[in-house]
Amino acid sequence: MPSPTPSSGGPRSDVGRWGGNPWQPPTTPSPEPEPEPDRRSRRGGRSFWARCCGCCSCRNTEDDDWGPERHGDRGGRGSGSRNRRPDSRGSDSRQPGSRDSRRPGSRDSRRPGSRGSAVNAAGDGTIREGMLVVTGVDLLSSRSDQNRREHHTDEFEYDELILRRGQPFQMVLFLSRPYESSDHVTLELCIGNNPEVGKGTHVIIPVGKGGSGGWKAQVTKSSGQNLNLRVHTSPNAIIGKFQFTIRTRCEAGEFQLPFDPRNEIYILFNPWCPEDIVYVDHEDWRQEYVLNESGRIYYGTEAQIGERTWNYGQFDHGVLDACLYILDRRGMPYGGRGDPISVSRVISAMVNSLDDNGVLIGNWSGDYSRGTNPSAWVGSVEILLSYLRTGNSVPFGQCWVFAGVTTTVLRCLGLATRTVTNFNSAHDTDTSLTMDIYFDENMKPLEHLNHDSVWNFHVWNDCWMKRPDLPSGFDGWQVVDATPQETSSGIFCCGPCSVQSIKNGLVYMKYDTPFIFAEVNSDKVYWQRQDDGSFKIVYVEEKAIGSLIITKAIGSNMREDITHTYKHPEGSEAERKAVETAAAHGSKPNVYATRDSAEDVAVQVEAQDAVMGQDLMVSVVLTNRGSSLRTVKLHLYLSVTFYTGVAGSVFKESKKEVVLAPGASERVTMPVAYKEYRVHLVDQGAMLLNISGHVKENGQVLAKQHTFRLRTPDLSLTLLGAAVVGQECEVQIVFKNPLPVTLTNVVFRLEGSGLQRPKILNVGDIGGNETVTLRQTFVPVRPGPRQLIASLDSPQLSQVHGVIQVDVAPASGGGAFSDIRGSGRSGETIPMASRGGA
């Protein structure tokens, strides 16, 4: 993919994010820059849809439904609404998911019959004797009703009807007189500014006659003045929030039920419907990848895998409105919202703030004083509700936060989605499909040339769908990555990209396959500068990139290795063919032609458990696999590194000459004291060991990089008493400071779907090696197994979190849900219950 032009203050100036920007102690935050406001109002510029989606680029620009939103058309959306409270439909006044307001009158005036009272054909409001008047509608929309249960939407904390497309639902009409066979009843659904039948934004369903595109309605029972209907929605329906009305016609005249916000209907993708292209043919997959409200996100290094629980919270009150608002904010055409390919691509662009004032501002600088440390978030709910409430991008995010929010949004909209971690993830900046590392004549890294970087880990998403836009064989898991790294068609978005195309090196398949392939299956190439100034490949590390790809296992908190879905077995003929096929389409197709090899001395790094605040030991083992004596001049360089692979300056080094007998091994160690690394630490507590050397007898060059992290403590959570819907419950949180220094301005976060709305707790300072205990109450609102998640953050220590499972019993009165939607004051100052020394 083409990359943005480097410029002062541009995206590539972020310290800690891009190769070629070595770390320096930050003086000011370096978040992703906000794009210029009101970009969509520029004359003559290409729209997002012309750049991002080829099939939309030839649409008529005068077509309001396909063009970017016009200022004034959508009250709360777009760049003009940044200081107004938006919702998913453009209203400024209502709470998300509430039923006490309707769309702005200017929009209703565009729709036939959208008035505040019943109308007849003449439009004068007169009700004639004998007319079939609809006096009321029961959409059976409560969470305990049949519709919500059958559509697997009963967990949504909403009172409106929420449906999955391609599946029938029931409703009851209350009439002014008994229904007769000569009566004509028509249902209508509308979405968008200018609903049109041809675009699927205006749906007309004659009862008993069969509709078009899979829409139809039938009478199942007529009893007195009640009429029961069974309505079938199209498996290709647009997703979003529809207004609903009913028309009747008989000899006495025509009647239309006015639009009522209480009768609005949400329609989502349906992985339970075989006719929907997002269909998933495994119930346990659907339970995990659509309905599970929490999950595990993995980080660290391949040898030191860390894990944290993330609250996706896709059913929390307001989250569905936030997800639809994201589509509105981008100005996504309503007519295109039935296509999961387009929807997922828009979400990958909108979850980051570049280009479009999207959800999250990325920041890799290490200075988060103007927002929230990415490591402090415990879930997506607080982020999405903030974006919905203010219309402003939320500071700050890094890859796992972008991925966690993307999982929430796509699951909420009905796409089976999982969060995936790739260890040793490459960032290829020149489309060579190799990770190129440059050294001088003495094998010292040339950082100004090292623009490619290898992230310790990178987190993205897989979502499941068919790909009718590709040849057969590319259905199934598709990669979507919302972390802004490189541009795609001029926009910071990535995917959806078929995992099958990645596995086989088919980098010409859309979308963004070359970049993702390089992340998981490229080679690390070491180049040494020669005396004449040219560069020569001295070593190719073929198993360094994409060494382990994992996700949370279905039905448990174990991790599942899914590397085989992305890659053929390392070293196999199929794997090498995939790499070399992909490289032939890159910018350096002949890179493998210049390789030299003389490798009878092997280098191995022994991973040890390193703990934050304690001394550590680095160990390297050299082995002579040849039949002759070998003399090795070994150099070890240790520096701190961001998890993105951007390293700081070397703060400790060691040089040693080692003589190895045939078949012999020797361990070389380098002790590192806490006081030596303390002042250099950056996010994630990660360090980079650069190993280089030269074998005297045969000229073999040794080159290897090894990353490790310092382990941080966990929070200990204990439930104090039973958890029951609607009843107050208490949790105790215990933390011991592992550092001999005081933690200042400590902030705890607490969140759990069905348990606790996002809550921020300010606890002040915690002394060196001190233990603190605090207690918090919460009121469960939904029964069943739940996850309560907490985190701790301070300028001195981050990446501290904990989780506890809470099994919530139904209320004693038999109600499954509580009307309480959680409580908690943001920024609340909490006194510690007790303190203890080391």
Residues flagged as binding site for Ca(2+): 521, 523, 570, 575
Q: State CA 10 to chain mean position distance.
A: 23
Question: Per the structure block, which two tokens stand in for 395?
Answer: 């500071």
Q: Which residues are annotated as a binding site?
A: 521, 523, 570, 575
Pairwise CA distance, residues 290 & 407, whole Å: 9
Pairing mode, strands 265-268 and 134-138: unpaired
Q: How many CA atoms lie within 13 A of 17 on its CB side?
A: 23
Q: In terms of Cα–Cα distance, which of 329, 320, 499 is closest to 411?
A: 320
Pairwise CA distance, residues 783 & 816, whole Å: 6
Is the bond leading into 496 cis (omega within 30 degrees of zero)?
yes
Contact in structure between 216 and 208 (CB atoms under 8 Å): no
Question: What's the distance, Cα to Cα, between the start and end of the chain in Å?
Answer: 53
Question: Per the structure block, which two tokens stand in for 90?
Answer: 């453009």
DSSP for 225-278, written as a single string: TEEEEEEE--TTPPPEEEEEEEEEEETTEEEEPPP-GGG-EEEE--TT-TTSTT
Q: State CA 274 to chain mean position distance.
A: 26
458 is catalytic: yes
Pairwise CA distance, residues 783 & 806, whole Å: 10
3-state secondary structure of 517: helix
Helix (H) or strand (E) holding 753: none
Pairwise CA distance, residues 362 & 421, whole Å: 18
Pairing mode, strands 665-672 and 686-695: unpaired
Question: Per the structure block, which two tokens stand in for 196?
Answer: 């049109």
Q: Exactly one of 481, 512, 683, 793 is catalytic; which is it?
A: 481
- Looking at residue 391, its amino acid is G
Please list the alpha-helical segments (H only) found in 331-456: 340-350, 381-390, 399-413
Pairwise CA distance, residues 591 & 588, whole Å: 6
The 10 Å CB-count burial string (b at 16+, else e) for 49-62 is bbbbbeebeebeee
DSSP for 736-749, written as a single string: E--SSS-EEEEEEE
Pairing mode, strands 701-711 and 610-611: parallel
Helix (H) or strand (E) holding 504: none
Q: Which residues contact 12 (CB under 8 A, 6 or more apart)?
A: 3, 4, 6, 18, 21
Contact in structure between 161 and 189 (CB atoms under 8 Å): no
Pairing mode, strands 453-465 and 665-672: unpaired
Q: Exactly one of 152, 202, 232, 458 is catalytic; which is it?
A: 458
202 is catalytic: no
Dmax over CA atoms of the chain, in Å, equals 109
355 is catalytic: no
Pairwise CA distance, residues 112 & 196, whole Å: 12
Place of tokens 């439909």: 89
- Backbone angles phi and psi of 243, in degrees to 5: -85, 150
Pairwise CA distance, residues 370 & 285, whole Å: 39
Pairing mode, strands 784-793 and 800-809: antiparallel
Helix 399-413, helix 340-350: angle, nearest 10: 150
The 10 Å CB-count burial string (b at 16+, else e) for 238-251 is bbbbbbbbbbbbbe
Pairwise CA distance, residues 273 & 414, whole Å: 11
Tell me which residues are annotated as active site: 399, 458, 481
